[in-house]
């Protein structure tokens, strides 16, 4: 059971903020799927996840990207 964080259509810094809130709600580890549709958000979220030791799987969809974060 992974939580879904849909950041599509949101401008900075909301996508990153939603992911960060979800990370702390999960207690810093677990699994979540993040939907992003902007390059900036994708890079920001990937950077945050990497810095905090989350593994990132990238799944390119039509018009958006799904990032699966696990730790």
Footprint (CB under 8 A) of other proteins, residues 6-65: 6, 8-14, 16-18, 20-22, 25, 32-33, 35, 37-40, 43-44, 46-48, 59, 61-63
Q: What are the two backbone dihedrals, phi and then psi, of residue 17, each rounded to the nearest 5 degrees?
A: -65, -45
Tokens 């974060």, residue located: 69
Q: Is 66 helix (H, G, I), strand (E, B) or coil?
A: strand
Q: What are the two backbone dihedrals, phi and then psi, of residue 11, each rounded to the nearest 5 degrees?
A: -95, 165
- Contact residues toward other proteins (CB under 8 A) are 1-6, 8-14, 16-18, 20-22, 25, 32-33, 35, 37-40, 43-44, 46-48, 59, 61-63, 66, 68
């Amino acid at each position: 059971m992974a939580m879904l964080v849909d950041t599509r259509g949101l401008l900075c810094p909301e996508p990153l903020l939603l992911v960060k809130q979800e990370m702390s709600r999960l207690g810093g580890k677990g699994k979540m799927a993040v939907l992003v549709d902007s390059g900036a958000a994708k890079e920001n979220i990937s950077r945050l996840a990497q810095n905090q030791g989350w593994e990132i799987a990238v799944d390119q969809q039509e018009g958006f990207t799904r990032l699966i974060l696990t730790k």
